[in-house]
Structure formats: C-alpha cells, structure tokens
Amino acid sequence: MSATSEILPLDAPRLLTATPVLQMESVSRRFGDVVALEDVSATVYPGEVLGIMGESGSGKSTLLRLMNLEDSPDKGDYRLDIPGAAGNLFDLDRYGRRMLRARHIGIVYQNPHLGLLMRNSSSGNVAERLLIAGERRFSELRARAGDALAASEFPLERMDAPPIELSGGMQQRVQLAKAIALEPVLLLLDEPTTGLDVSVQALVLDTLKRLQRDRAITMVLVSHDLGVIRTMADRVMVMRRGRVVEEGLADQIFQDPQHEYTQALVHAKL
Ligand SMILES: Nc1ncnc2c1ncn2[C@@H]1O[C@H](COP(=O)(O)OP(=O)(O)OP(=O)(O)O)[C@@H](O)[C@H]1O
Ligand SMILES: [Mg+2]
C-alpha cells in the first residue's frame, strides 16, 4: 500500500474514479470595488455533502448563487454532470439557465421569502416546480407535491396552508420539498437552519441527513454555524474574504485545521 492510499478515506477510490457532479474553476466575482470571490474552485462528487463555512461577507452566498446560475462571474468555468449540460454553464442564456435550474438544481435559502410565494398554498409552491417538468393533471400534481412534502417531514394536514401562516421550521420544510420535488442532481442549501430555534434546527438537520442517506443527494451546504457543518458535511471548504483558505475532509478540518484562520474559527467554537 502506498503512503498516499493509507491516508485516504475508505471510499476514496470510488470518489477518485467518479465523475464530479459539480466542477467550478477559477471563479472571480466583484461588485464594484468589493471582491466577493477571487479565483475560487470547487469540486463535488456524487452523493457528497460539501460544507462551505466562513465569516459574514466571505463570499459564501455569492458562490452558491453562481452555482444556482442566478448570477454570472467576471471569469470562471462551471460544469455539471447532467445530460445535455455541455460546456461552461456560465455561457448559457437566461432560458437555458432557467431550464437547467428548474429541472436539475434545488435550492433552500435562509430567507424563505426568496424561495417561496408566501401567500400561495404550500402544496402549490411545490406543484409549481412540477408544472415546469410538464405535469398538468391536478390529482397527480397534488399527489407528487404531497410526496415531496412528506419526504421533507412536513405535516400533510397543513399542505394547503400558505407559508406565511407557518413557523420558520415549517417554511424551510416547504422550501426543501420544492427543492427535492424533481429529484435534483444538486441540492444547494444557504444557511437553511439559521434563525431557527435550536430544537427546530436539529429536526430540520435530521430531515436533511435522512434525505441525504436515503437518496444520496449531492449537496452544497453553506453555514457560518460550525456545528451544522460538522453534523452534515463530508468535505469542507473554508472561505475568507472571497478566497478559499483551506479545504479537506470534515474530520481533518475540525480535528487538525492547518490554516490559522481555520484554527481560530474551530477553536473559537470548541
Ligand atoms: N449584489 C451585490 N451587490 C453588491 N455587493 C454584494 C452583492 N452581493 C454580495 N455583495 C458583497 O460581496 C461580499 C460577499 O457577500 P456574500 O453575501 O457572498 O457573503 P456571505 O459569506 O454569504 O455572508 P453572510 O454570512 O453574511 O451571509 C460582501 O462584501 C457583500 O457585501
Ligand atoms: Mg450569505
């Protein structure tokens, strides 16, 4: 056994031969004088949870918005392992981006107002996603929306309630149901539990973990909460001022951080 293989995790050979679901190369994004991202690269393998952590303003949400094709970088290359998604996805026009996003990428925002129509019914919010996939029969739309809500552990007796009447934890479950309704290739989560009570946060994280285990959904999870990252992530990327300062297996990042910024983050928390 070579020295390298001894330090790799058990499933490393599978990962090393697998085609990444997501590959982002050398992405930079400025807003005026603010450098939100500088030369950021990321790779995510099938079924993996990539955690992204870093202080406020470090560029986490900007990166996730780019992964969701909501924004364009100043430079960089983005590829997803999806049939029909060839070349640099940042070259797609608005329509191409929208179709790709609707069919293959799910997203949960910290702020449910960004992801949901708050006065439409919860089931309607999920059904909207299914309409994009061409489903038109009311009974089928309702059944499939119910399935996605149930998978997100949303109480089905409330499926006709509008999100505005629901608690924060329930709103996140509706966002999650909408995000997974079409079985996305990639699930993006931007602070999905921030602002929730600790007990509710734990329940939502349990749901995410169960979904991840049962469906092996590939996820990118942004959080400034190290506990959330530690609970969920297989690999971690640490960002500061728009740059990746360290990345590695979650266990290594938390137990043996190399960069002094990561050390400060981890030790401040422990
Ligand atoms: N649309 C925008 N216009 C101008 N500046 C922006 C815009 N979006 C982000 N920025 C700036 O880019 C930097 C990175 O912001 P971003 O929202 O990605 O950080 P973040 O890591 O998600 O922070 P937080 O933890 O507070 O959510 C910040 O300085 C922010 O002010
Ligand atoms: Mg953010």
36 CA to middle of ligand 1, Å? 6
Are residues 192 and 72 located together in one domain of the fold?
yes
**252 assigned to some structural domain:** yes
Are residues 223 and 162 located together in one domain of the fold?
no
Say whether pLDDT at 95 is over 70: yes
Cβ–Cβ under 8 Å, residues 71 and 29: yes
Give the pLDDT score at 21: 96
Of the residues 124, 149, 184, the one at which a domain ends:
184
Segments forming the whole domain that contains residue 239: 1-82+185-270
pTM of the predicted model as reported, rounded to 2 decimal places: 0.92
Nearest ligand 1 atom, CA 64: 18
Give the pLDDT score at 195: 87
Give the pLDDT score at 107: 97
Q: Whose CA is nearest to atom 29 of ligand 1?
A: 57
| 3-class SS of residue 180 | helix
Are residues 71 and 134 located together in one domain of the fold?
no
Dihedral sign from CA coordinates of 191, 192, 196, 201: negative
Are residues 132 and 259 located together in one domain of the fold?
no
241 CA to middle of ligand 1, Å? 10
Q: In total, how many domains does the chain have? A: 2
Burial 82-99 (b: 16+ CB within 10 A, else e): beebeeebbebeeeebee
Q: How confident is the model at residue 4 (pLDDT cuts 50, 70, 90)?
A: very low
Calculate the dihedral angle through the C-alpha atoms of 66, 70, 71, 73, rounding to the nearest 10 degrees.
Answer: 30
Please choose from 34, 109, 188, 194 the residue to mutate so as to test ligand 1's pocket, defined by most ligand atoms within 8 A of CB. 34
Query: For 187-240, what is each residue's pLDDT tens digit?
Result: 999 999 998 999 999 999 999 999 998 988 999 999 989 999 999 999 999 999
Are residues 142 and 200 located together in one domain of the fold?
no
Contacts of 125-131 spanning 24+ positions with Cβ under 8 A? 125/163, 125/174, 125/178, 126/174, 126/177, 126/178, 126/181, 128/178, 129/102, 129/178, 129/181, 129/182, 130/181, 130/182
Provide the percentage of residues in the chain whose pLDDT is more than 90.
Answer: 81
Q: Whose CA is nearest to atom 31 of ligand 1?
A: 57
Are residues 162 and 29 located together in one domain of the fold?
no
Are residues 169 and 190 located together in one domain of the fold?
no
Which residues does a 6 A CB cutoff place in the pocket of ligand 1? Answer: 31, 34, 36, 54, 56-62, 224
Q: How far apart are CA 60 and CA 98, in angstroms?
A: 22
**96 assigned to some structural domain:** no
Are residues 10 and 143 located together in one domain of the fold?
no
